[in-house]
Amino acid sequence: MNAIGDTEAKAKFSELLDRVGQGEEIVITRGGKPAARLVPAEAAAKTLVEGKETYPVGYHKGPIDLNHLRAVAEGFKARVKQPFSSSDINEILYDEDGLPK
């Protein structure tokens, strides 16, 4: 894994994307300390949690089925009190460890 400063990364962003596209991981530093990591999209999309594959919010594996989306929406309606807060939404979306359900 290679490291590059933030100013240089800004100047060479297209080159960095090409390198990441070839599978390389790059750490971007700010003030000499790691600030971000560029990784191939597939590596970023998949994570392992307790031995099972999970996907971050916004990532959907496979085709989206409209009936499934409607069922999810109905499930939210049934679980949300009116009026609801961001805390209520967090309880629906995340478990007690802060991980997506």
C-alpha gyration radius of the chain: 19
**What is the domain range of residue 65?**
60-101
The pLDDT tens digits along the chain (101 residues) read 689 999 999 999 999 999 998 989 899 999 989 888 888 877 655 554 444 555 554 555 566 667 777 777 777 777 766 777 788 777 778 877 777 77
27, 64: one domain: no
Residues 40 and 65 in one domain: no
At residue 58, the pLDDT reads 53
The CA distance from 4 to 7, in Å, is 8
The rounded distance, in Å, linking the Cα atoms of 76 and 82 is 12
Claim to verify: residue 91 and residue 67 sit in the same structural domain: yes
Amino acid identity, position 9: A
Closest CA to 43 of 62, 74, 22, 66: 22
Q: How many domains does the chain have?
A: 2
Same domain, yes or no, for 35 and 73? no
- Kindly report the CATH number assigned to the domain that includes residue 23: 3.40.1620.10
